[in-house]
Structure 1
C-alpha cells in the first residue's frame, strides 16, 4: 500500500490474459518493447532470453524486461497454459531495487502471486483487449503488490540455483504419465509396466534410466509425487488429513501418515500447524519440474 513517504507505481498501460499452446510450439524469437510478467500454469517450456536458457515449469514466474530478445519452446506435451501481463512503467516505487537487478525467473514465488495474477487478469477481461489506456488505480495497486512481493523478497537467480532438467526422453514420457494420473481425483494406481508402456521402453530399461538421471526408481518417484501433492494440500486447503490421503492415492490415513513422517520428519498435522503459523515448508524431495502441477 503506497504511503506518503514513498513514491507509488505509475503505469502508462496494462493488459493481460491467459494463452494456450500446443505441444512443441515455439513463440519467438521476438524483442519485447515493454515489461512482461509470465506465470506458468501448465506445461514446461525452455525460455531463452538474451542468450541465456532457462527451464520454466508450472508455478514459475518470468520477469523479462524491455529490450529482451526472448523465445519460448514448449515441451512435447499437451495442455500448456501461460498467464501474462504486459505493462509500461512510468515510475517505479522508491523502495524497489533497480530494474537491472530484477530476477529473470523465480521458481518458487510467494504464494500470493497466483491469486494476484488471477485477480488482475479477471479485471482486465472487462476492458477492451490490449487496451493501451491508463489502468485504474486499483489495478495499478494490485500489480504493485504483486511485484513488490517478488522484488523485495527474492534475490536474482544465480547460475548455482538453476536446475538442470535435461533427462532421457523415456523418463520425461513416464513423468508426464504420472502427472496425468495426478489430475484424477483420486489418482489411479500405476504400475511399472504401465509407465514403461507410456515411455516406450521395457520396465528394466526405464528403471535404469530413472536411476541414472534421478537416482530414484520410477515407483519411488511416484510415491514422492504423492507426498509432495499432500504437502501442498496441507498448506493450501482445509481438507482433513484422511481426505488428503485419499486424494493422493494412499490406501489409508495411517499409511499416509507413516509415509509422510518418514519423508518430511514430522506427521502431517504437525507440518500443517507449522505452515499455518508461517514456518517454512519442509525441503521438497523432488526436482522442481516434477512437482504436482500448480493451479490458481
Structure 2
C-alpha cells in the first residue's frame, strides 16, 4: 500500500469517526405515574423534545407514563438503582429520605398556588432541596403545581366539626392524615384504583384530591358534595438521578434546568386554569360546591396536630408562611 493511499484511508477513517461521534446519542429514561392525557406527561414529552433540540441530538429522552416503569415508590427506587434517569414525583416520597422537605404537606402551609411557586424560588426551598440532595444525590431540577386538594363527601361540610366520625379515604402518607384527623374523621388508606367503588358502595363516605383528579376519576358521580377545603396546595418535583446529573457538563445542566423549569411552568399554568373552569362546571352540572370556614379548619389542625410529629421543623414552616 503506497503512502498516498494510506493517507487517504486515514483521512477517511477520521471523517467517519467524527461523523459517528457527532451523531452519538445518550438515551435517558424519564418515568412518571400520570396518564398520557395529563399535562405532567404532555409537558414531559415537550421537554424531552426540547432537550434533544437544544443539545443537537446528543440526548434522546424516552418518556414512560402511567406507571409503565413502576409505581411512584418503584421509580424513586429506580433513581437509586440507575434503572431510570429522570422522574416526576411528590415531596412526600422525597421526605422518606429527608423528612423536613415534607413540611409542604402540612395543611394550610400555602395560601394558594402562587405562594407555592414563590416558595420554590426561596432560600428555604433551596436549603431543603440541597439537604435532600446531600442525602440521596438526586437533584430537584423543577417543581410544578399539582393541584389544590379538596374534599368530596356525601355529607355537607362547612366547618371542621362537620367531619366528626366521617369515614374518609386518605392516601397512606402521614401528613395527608393531619386535617381529617384534626377534624375527627375516621381515615382509611384504600388503594387509589379502588376509591370510586369504595365511594359507590359506601365503604367510605368521603375522599380528598385536586379538582382535576375528581374530574378525571369521576368521583363526582358517586358523591353529593365537592367541599373546597383547600387543605394542601400540592406539587410535583422533576428529579434527575445522582449518577446522571453528575455525568452532565455544566452547559448541559443549564439546558436541562431551563427546559424542565419551562415545562413545569407550562404544567402549572394548565392546572391552574383547569381548576377555575371546574368549579363552574361542577356547579353547572348540579353538584353542590361548598365554601368552607378555612380559618376554623386551620385553627384545629395547628392546635391538634404537631409539626414535629412528622419530622418537620417549625422554623421551616414559619419561613414558608412568611413568603410573600
TM-score scaled by length of structure 1: 0.26
Please tell me whether Structure 1 or Structure 2 has the larger radius of gyration of its CA atoms. 2
More helix by share: 2
Bigger relative contact order (CA 8 A; separation at least 6): 2
